[in-house]
Chains A and B, each alone.
Chain A
C-alpha cells in the first residue's frame, strides 16, 4: 500500500471518528476562554480590563484558543497513537504495514485534522469579531492573528506529544512530559519570548496601526520551535519499536539508514541557530547603568557643528538604511578616536572622513540598546564624517516580552534616536545648539511627524511613488512617527494644538469628542499654572502612537497611547464619558515633567514628575467630572495604596530586605517605588494643599514654581523648593 493511500485511509478514518469531531468542536469553542477566563494581554487599568479592541476580541481569544487547542490536540494525539497498543493489535498492524510509515502517516493525518479545526474556528468566529471590533476591524490582521497566535501552537503540541509517545510508548508518561513541556512554557519560560511556545509574549495588539514586528516575533518563535520539535520527532522516530525490541534495540535498527538521524540532527542544529541568531532583540548588559548615558567624558579637542542624515526605511522588509554626515572639528592636531552609538541590529558599510576611508570598529558589548562604534578621526581640523549603516533594528532586551517597536511597515513607523542614525557619544556641540537636518523617504501615503520642536517639509516625490521629506531640528537625536495620520487643529488657551490620530480611528474620535477633552485640559493647566512659554511658535503636537503602554511628553509634543482612545475606553462612563485619564496625565506632563524640570539622575527618590502630574490630573478630573469621581478614583486610591505600602512587610522590616540577594531586592524595591512616586507624593501634595489654605493657594504656589526664574546650573525643581514655596517642612507632610 502506497504511503499516499495510507494517508488517505488514516485521514478518512479520523474524520469518521466522533472523538475527532469532539476535539474539533472543542477547539472551535476554545477561543471563548479568551473572552472571560484567560486574557493574557496586559490591561492598562486596575479598575477595568482595558486593551485595544483587536486585543480584546481577537488576540485574547486566539491566544486562549491556541493554549486550549494545543492541550486538546496533545491529548488527542496520544489517544490516537496509543490506540493500536491499547487494543493489543500492534503486532498485527505492524505485520501489515511498516510502523515507521504508519507513524509518519498518523502524524500527517493529525496535522491535517488540526488544519481543519483551525479553519472552522476562523470561520465560526469571523462574524462575532467583525461585530465587536467595529470600525477598526481588519481582515488581514484577523487571519494573521489566528494563524500565528492560535494555529502556531497546535502542530507543536502534536509533534511533542507524538515524539513523547514514540520515546516512551506510555500514555501517562507521555502526558506528564507534555504537562511538563506546557507547564514550563506557562511558568519558567513565560518571560522568555523565545521559549514560551504555548503562550507567546504578546503584550498588546494595535487597532489603528500595524503589528508587523509583533507578528514576526511570535511567528519566528513558533517557527524555531517547529523546527526543534520536528528534529525531536525525527529522533523519536528512530525509537519506534520494531521486531519486538525495546527503544534502544529499535534505535539500533532504525539508525542504519543514516539520512534519518542526520536530518533530525540537522533540524535540531537549525533550531539552535535560529534561537541564537534571532534578529529582534539585542543582548544589552542586564545590569543597567544609567550613568553611562548621564556622566559622559566629552573629548576636549573634538566638537560637532552640524549633522545630516539621509534615511530610507524599507516598509517591505522592516529594515532601515541610511547615511549620516557629521561636521566635526578636531583641534588637537592628532588622530583621535571618537565614539558613536548605533542600534545593535545595524551594520556599518562604510565610514569616510573627508571622502577617505576612516578606520572603525564595532565594540562587542551592548548596553542600554546601543552598541559603540569607534572611529579613528584624522588630524585634519575640519572633517566631514560620513557613516553608511543599515539593517534590521533590534529592541532592548529588557522589553523583550513587550515587543512591537521600532515598527517599520507601510502603515506605521516609529523611529527613535539611534534607530534613525548613529549619534555621537563623547563629542560635544561646537556651539550652544547643534543644527540638524534629515531627509527621510517614506511610502507615499504616510505623513511623517517630527516629535518635539523642528519643522517638516515635503521635498520631492520619487519615481517609485515614495516621498522624501526634510526635517530640520536640533541635537543629535530625533524621533519620527509616520502613518496614515489626520490632523485636527484645536485652539486652546492661545495655543494651537495639532492633534494627530490615525485615519482609521476618525469615527471613534469624533463620536467621543476627544478633541474637546484635549482642549479642556490645556485650558485648565494654562489657566492654573501658566502658559507653555518655552514653545516659541505657540504650537503643540499631540500624537496618537501605536499601543506602547503609556505616553511621554517633551519639547512641544505629547504622545498619547492608542489604548487611551479605544472605543471601549472612550465610552467608559466611569471616567466621566470623556477621553481616558491617561491622556490628561500625559498632557499635564507638558507642565510637570519635561526633562528640564526634574533631575533625571534622581531615580530612587520620591520626588519626581509623577507626584505633581498625578495631583494635577486629580484636580482636572475633579473640575471636569465632579468631586465624588475624583475622590473615589484618586484620593481613595492613593490612600489605599499608601496604607498598603506602610503595612508592607519589607517597609516595616527593612532588615529582611537587605539580606535578600540583589535581584530580589531590586524587584521588591521597584514594586514599591511606583507607589511612593505616584500615590504617596500625590497625597503629600494634597496634604500641603490643606496646610497652605486650599486649592487656590496651592494653584498660586504651583503657578509661581512653574514660571520661576531658572538656575542654568541646576534648572531642576527640587522637593526643597516645593516645600519652601509652601512654607512647610518635610515633617509636616508626613502621612503617619
Chain B
C-alpha cells in the first residue's frame, strides 16, 4: 500500500494541475495579504491570530477548490472504468480508497502550507515579526474541519457521478458567502472579523466559543460521515 500511496502522491503533485492550483492560491493569498490583511482585522495587528485567521478563511474556498480538483483524479469516468480491473486484484479496496484520500489530503496540505508559508514570509519581511506559534491554532481550526468535510463530500459525490464533483466546487464559496450563523460559518470569516469587536479590550487574545467549536466538529464529523457512507454504498 505504501508503494501505491507514493504512486498516487506522485500523480497528484508532479502534475501541471497542482502547479496551477498552487500558483492560483499563492497569487490570491498575496492579494489578500497586501489588500486586506495588511490593514489589520477588527483593529488588531495584521499578524494577530484574528487577522491571520481572516486571511486563512478568505483563502479557504480556493484551497477547497484545489482539493476538489485533486478528487477529480480519482472520481473521473476513466478511473471508474479502471476500478473494474483493480477490483479483480487482491487489493483491499477500503485501504486503497483510504490511501487515495490520503494522497488528496497530502496534496491539499501542500497548498495549505504554501498559503500559510506565504503569510509567514509576509509577516517576517514586512513587520519583522516571527512569533508564529500563536497562529497555528486558528489555521488548524479553519482548515482541518473544512478540508475533511470537502474530502468526504467530494469523494461521496464523485462516486455517484464524476460531474458532481465539479458542481460541489461551488459549495465552499456558497457556504463562505452566505450569512450563516457564526457557528455554521464554513470559513469562519465573520467570526474572525466580528468576534474581536464584541470583546471590550483592544488586541484581545485569541479565544473561541463552545458553539463555534461545536460547529467545526460538526463539519469534521459530516466529512467523515460522507466518506463512510460512500464506502458503505460502494460495498
Do A and B truly interact?
A: yes
Which residues of A come within 8 Å of B, CB atoms?
A: 37, 75, 86, 168, 172-173, 175-177, 179-180, 183-184, 187-188, 644, 647-650, 652-653, 656, 659-661, 664, 668, 671
B45 partner, pick from A75, A175, A644, A653, beta carbons under 8 A: A653
B202 partner, pick from A75, A180, A652, beta carbons under 8 A: A652
A659 partner, pick from B31, B65, B76, B126, beta carbons under 8 A: B126
Known: A649-B44, A668-B38. Is A183-B77 also a contact (CB below 8 A)?
no
Known: A176-B17, A179-B65, A649-B45. Is A664-B31 also a contact (CB below 8 A)?
no
Cβ contacts under 8 Å, A175 to chain B: 69, 166
Query: For residues 157 through 216 of chain B, which have their beta carbon under 8 Å from a beta carbon of chain A?
Result: 166, 177, 202
B20 partner, pick from A180, A187, A659, A664, beta carbons under 8 A: A180
Cβ contacts under 8 Å, B69 to chain A: 172, 175-176
CA distance A647 to B34 in the complex (A): 21
Residue of B nearest to A643 (CB): B43
Q: Smallest distance from the beta carbon of B34 to chain A beta carbons, Å?
A: 7
A183 near B43 with CB under 8 A, answer no
Residue of B nearest to A187 (CB): B31
Q: Smallest distance from the beta carbon of B8 to chain A beta carbons, Å?
A: 16
Cβ contacts under 8 Å, B45 to chain A: 649, 653, 656
B21 partner, pick from A168, A176, A647, beta carbons under 8 A: A176
Known: A180-B20, A656-B127, A664-B34. Is A649-B166 also a contact (CB below 8 A)?
no
Known: A168-B16, A656-B45. 8 other contacts (CB 8 A): A37-B177, A172-B76, A176-B69, A647-B202, A649-B45, A649-B46, A659-B126, A664-B38
Cβ contacts under 8 Å, B17 to chain A: 172-173, 176
Known: A183-B28, A187-B28, A187-B31. Is A176-B20 also a contact (CB below 8 A)?
yes
26 A-B pairs in the complex with CB atoms less than 8 angstroms apart? A37-B177, A172-B17, A172-B69, A172-B72, A173-B16, A173-B20, A175-B166, A176-B20, A176-B21, A176-B24, A176-B69, A179-B65, A183-B28, A188-B31, A647-B202, A648-B40, A648-B43, A649-B43, A649-B45, A656-B127, A659-B128, A664-B34, A664-B38, A664-B126, A668-B39, A671-B39
CA distance A668 to B126 in the complex (A): 14
Q: Smallest distance from the beta carbon of A82 to chain B beta carbons, Å?
A: 11
CA distance A37 to B174 in the complex (A): 11
Which residues of B come within 8 Å of A, CB atoms?
A: 16-17, 20-21, 23-24, 27-28, 31, 34, 38-40, 43-46, 65, 69, 72-73, 76-77, 126-128, 166, 177, 202
Chain B contact residues, majority secondary structure: helix
By CB atoms of chain B within 10 A, which of A176, A659, A661 has the most? A176
How many residue-residue contacts, CB under 8 A, span A and B? 60
CA distance A183 to B29 in the complex (A): 12
Residue of B nearest to A663 (CB): B34
CA distance A83 to B16 in the complex (A): 22
Q: Smallest distance from the beta carbon of A126 to chain B beta carbons, Å?
A: 29
CA distance A664 to B39 in the complex (A): 9
Q: Smallest distance from the beta carbon of B199 to chain A beta carbons, Å?
A: 12
Cβ contacts under 8 Å, B24 to chain A: 176, 179-180, 183
Cβ contacts under 8 Å, A652 to chain B: 202
Cβ contacts under 8 Å, A173 to chain B: 16-17, 20
Cβ contacts under 8 Å, A660 to chain B: 38, 126
Residue of A nearest to B47 (CB): A656
Cβ contacts under 8 Å, B73 to chain A: 172
Cβ contacts under 8 Å, A661 to chain B: 126
CA distance A660 to B126 in the complex (A): 6
CA distance A653 to B127 in the complex (A): 12
A659 near B127 with CB under 8 A, answer yes
CA distance A187 to B24 in the complex (A): 11
CA distance A251 to B139 in the complex (A): 46
Cβ contacts under 8 Å, B128 to chain A: 659
By CB atoms of chain A within 10 A, which of B40, B45, B126 has the most? B40
CA distance A176 to B68 in the complex (A): 11
The 6 closest A-B CB pairs, nearest first, are A649-B40, A647-B43, A176-B20, A172-B72, A187-B31, A180-B24
